[in-house]
Amino acid sequence: MTKNTKVNAAILIIGNEILSGRTQDTNTSTLAIWLNSIGVKVNEVRIISDTEKTIVDTLNLLRKTNDYVFTTGGIGPTHDDITAQSVSKAFGLKYEIHKEAFKILEAYYDPGEFNEGRQKMVMMPENANLILNPTSGAPGFSVENVFCLPGVPSILKSMLGGIKNKILGGDPILSHTISLRTVESEIANSLTKVQDQNKDVEIGSYPFFHAGKLGVSIVLRSENKSKIDSCNSQILEFIKQKKIEIVDR
């Protein structure tokens, strides 16, 4: 049985530190690669500030226009961590102590260490589903199609395994790369023709500099391996005609 539906997602990066340039977001790339591998395509990414109204409005738009939404950031113990209360508001749910999360953190910390600041991290939308955190205890959570993850990249990565079975993806999005010792303008016309004949394959062209030399990587993406293969053959054909060298990259 093949799954035939296209499944898409939006990523919502919440945090002033990304908008100010202080912190370089890397979670988009981590999430996108992981989502592609389970058959979910990322439609769009938005980076927004730690502002309740902005989070509520953006989330209410994205959760209706995408199969899934993944948020990162804003679930820690400080005043600028307002994702859980904003998600509660977006769904019209109570923002309250999550009993299971409370038990997890109570057991995680040494006696007396589960202080008021840390207790903020168990405040969640009512009946939220927990996303377990094998790295630092404090869970993320999901409500309907919205999954809320932390901003710290290593912690986020460690939590993805726990939600894999909650995401119903389509066919995995396959990718094939051909790297060439050429410049984009040399292959632009031929590549346009191949794209026109292969509408179902997303063809990208990306210049690179590597070991002091210029090159171009052509990236083919589709859920359908035979369509990628056919597209690949057409590209190899014009490369041969143009006597362009294929390189490892």
Which residues contribute to the site for a second copy (CB under 8 A)?
13, 16-26, 28-34, 36, 41-50, 54, 76-80, 115-118, 120, 152, 173, 175, 184-189, 191-192, 195, 202-207, 219, 221
Q: Angle, to 10 degrees, between the axis of helix 52-65 and the axis of helix 83-91?
A: 60
CA-CA distance, 249 to 178, in Å (whole number)?
8
Q: Which of 152, 87, 159, 91 is nearest to 124 (CA)?
A: 87
Query: Between 105 and 143, whose beta carbon lies closer to a second copy?
Result: 105
Half-sphere exposure of 107 (CA within 13 A, CB side): 7
Q: What are phi and psi of 20, to 5 degrees?
A: -85, -10
Read off φ and ψ for residue 95, nearest 5 degrees.
-105, 110
Nearest CB to a second copy, comparing residues 34 and 147: 34
| Least distance in angstroms from the C-beta of 192 to a second copy | 4
Q: DSSP character for 178?
A: E
Q: Strand, helix or coil at 150?
A: coil
Residue 129 or 217: which CB sits closer to a second copy? 217
> To which H or E segment does residue 72 belong?
strand 68-72
Question: To the nearest whole angstrom, how small is the minimum distance from the Cβ of residue 168 to a second copy?
Answer: 20
- Our CB check for a second copy shows the closer of 71 and 143 to be 71
Minimum CB separation of residue 126 from a second copy in Å reads 23
Nearer to a second copy, 143 or 179 (CB): 179
Alpha carbons 175 and 156: distance in angstroms, whole number: 24
- Contact of 87 with 59, CB cutoff 8 Å: yes
Q: Is 85 left (phi over 0), alpha (psi -120 to 50) or beta?
A: alpha
Residue among 29 and 127 whose Cβ is closer to a second copy: 29
Q: Toward a second copy, which CB reaches closer, 9 or 146?
A: 9
Residue 1 beta carbon to a second copy: minimum distance, rounded to whole angstroms: 26
Least Å from the CB of residue 98 to a second copy: 17
Shortest CB 127 distance to a second copy, Å: 25
- Distance in Å, CB of 221 to a second copy, minimum: 7
Instruction: Find the Cα–Cα–Cα–Cα dihedral 238, 240, 241, 244, rounded to 10°.
Output: 90
